[in-house]
Chains A and B, each alone.
Chain A
């Protein structure tokens, strides 16, 4: 998995690629927490995520909680139906701010 971080008008856009699972969750966690530590809103592009499990959910949740504590936001966008299913199973689809695409995520108030 090769993830990517770009900056857009004061927000960090992180693209996650591949399986966000037990094998890769430590790297994803590090990337997300590092992003949150910059004090900027995170926009997480989920479009290239091929698999998400409870370990990946935990990494995202930890980043969200740290962002809430810091007064910033974590917004997800472009998740596939397969990935959305995992959020729904975890009943976190209403806890996370999840959007259809980048422009919708940017347009939503933190």
Chain B
């Protein structure tokens, strides 16, 4: 499902314009498509190529966490990506329908720890200005909000 153009809530004290809503199965095939969608949307929101690629990487890592940890690698549900534009930057919502996660148990490995893995959450935090779980509208699943301001 894709819809364009609805006005939504506010961020940075500004109205948000929904520019893309995309629903996809929580599997590997969807990730590359999402990267392309986010890259195009971030460019449309005013980010340069490098900045847009950063945002796409952060969203990709967040989607991977949903696929691997929330849905535990099974194509058991969907992810809904909503992308909002505002004058100050870009706001992205990732909604899944997996069991609720405990945000206090999500964290990156210390970067000095050179064991492989667990760097995706660090990428999200390093790239985005904020990453927080919001209450999902109907109480089901998880809703992650990612915000990146234009420099």
Chain A residues in the interface with B (C-beta under 8 A): 19, 21-23, 51, 53-55, 57-59, 61-62, 65, 81-82, 85-86, 89-91, 95
In the bound complex, residues from chain B placing their C-beta under 8 Å from that of A54 are: 61, 64, 117-120, 123
State the Cβ distance, A61 to closest chain B Cβ, in Å. 4
Pair B114/A65 contact, Cβ less than 8 Å: yes
Q: Which of B113-150 contact A (CB under 8 A)?
A: 114-120, 122-123, 126-127
What are 10 pairs between A and B in contact, CB < 8 Å? A21-B31, A22-B31, A22-B64, A22-B68, A53-B120, A62-B116, A85-B50, A86-B57, A86-B123, A90-B122
Pair B119/A57 contact, Cβ less than 8 Å: yes
Pair A53/B54 contact, Cβ less than 8 Å: no
State the Cβ distance, A69 to closest chain B Cβ, in Å. 12
Q: Considering the chains assembled together, what is the distance between the CA atoms of A82 and B51 in angstroms?
A: 10
Mostly, the B contact residues are helix
**Residue B10 is within 8 A (CB to CB) of chain A in the complex:** no
Pair A23/B61 contact, Cβ less than 8 Å: no
Partner of B28, one of A22, A62, A81, A90: A22
In the bound complex, residues from chain A placing their C-beta under 8 Å from that of B64 are: 22, 53-55
**Residue B21 is within 8 A (CB to CB) of chain A in the complex:** no
State the Cβ distance, A11 to closest chain B Cβ, in Å. 23
In the bound complex, residues from chain A placing their C-beta under 8 Å from that of B120 are: 53-55
Q: Which of B40-84 contact A (CB under 8 A)?
A: 50, 53-54, 57, 60-61, 64, 67-68
Q: A58-B119, A89-B127 are in contact. Are A23 and B32 (CB under 8 A)?
A: yes
In the bound complex, residues from chain B placing their C-beta under 8 Å from that of A89 are: 57, 122-123, 126-127
State the Cβ distance, A67 to closest chain B Cβ, in Å. 13
In the bound complex, residues from chain A placing their C-beta under 8 Å from that of B50 are: 81-82, 85
State the Cβ distance, B42 to closest chain A Cβ, in Å. 14
In the bound complex, residues from chain B placing their C-beta under 8 Å from that of A81 are: 50
B121's nearest neighbour on chain A, judged by CB, is A54
**Residue B111 is within 8 A (CB to CB) of chain A in the complex:** yes
A68's nearest neighbour on chain B, judged by CB, is B114
